[in-house]
């Protein structure tokens, strides 16, 4: 039910496992806490690298790609948007395994 977005954050996806409102609310609270921690980390990395001119969105993308690279079978990820990052994924072994599902921004379950 949880997936890693291409922006470096967790997202709650539609699934049968969280049909009950209470369970869904609990999951959303945990998700918000995790994403708050991630945002703080990304902001701190950006602050420490001001001389290099690194933006928060750059850090988010780097972390999203690294999580995708380290992803395990059965985990859900959103592929990068069209551009160099997506091209790298498409040309990788993962991109080959995903086949026709390897499209920009698509949500996939890793094989």
Q: pLDDT tens, position by position, for the chain (111 residues)?
A: 789 999 999 999 877 666 788 888 888 999 999 999 999 999 999 999 989 989 999 999 999 999 999 999 999 999 999 999 999 999 999 999 999 999 999 999 999
Alpha-carbon dihedral angle through residues 74, 75, 81, 84, given to the nearest 10 degrees: -80
Q: What backbone phi and psi angles, to 5 degrees, belong to 106?
A: -70, 140
CB-count burial class (<10 Å; 0-12, 13-18, 19+) for 54: middle
Task: Give this prediction's pTM.
Answer: 0.90
CA dist 51 and 32 (Å) reads: 30
CA dist 45 and 107 (Å) reads: 27
């Amino acid at each position: 039910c949880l997936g890693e977005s291409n922006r470096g954050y967790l997202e709650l996806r539609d699934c049968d496992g969280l049909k009950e409102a209470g369970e869904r609310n609990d999951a959303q609270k945990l998700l918000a806490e995790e994403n708050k921690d991630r945002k703080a980390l990304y902001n701190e990395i950006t602050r420490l690298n001001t001389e290099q001119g690194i933006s928060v969105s750059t850090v988010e993308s780097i972390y999203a790609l690294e999580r995708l690279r380290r992803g395990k079978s059965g985990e859900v990820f959103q592929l990068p948007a069209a551009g160099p990052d997506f091209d790298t994924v498409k040309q990788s072994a993962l991109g080959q395994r995903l086949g026709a599902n390897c499209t920009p921004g698509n949500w996939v379950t890793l094989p």
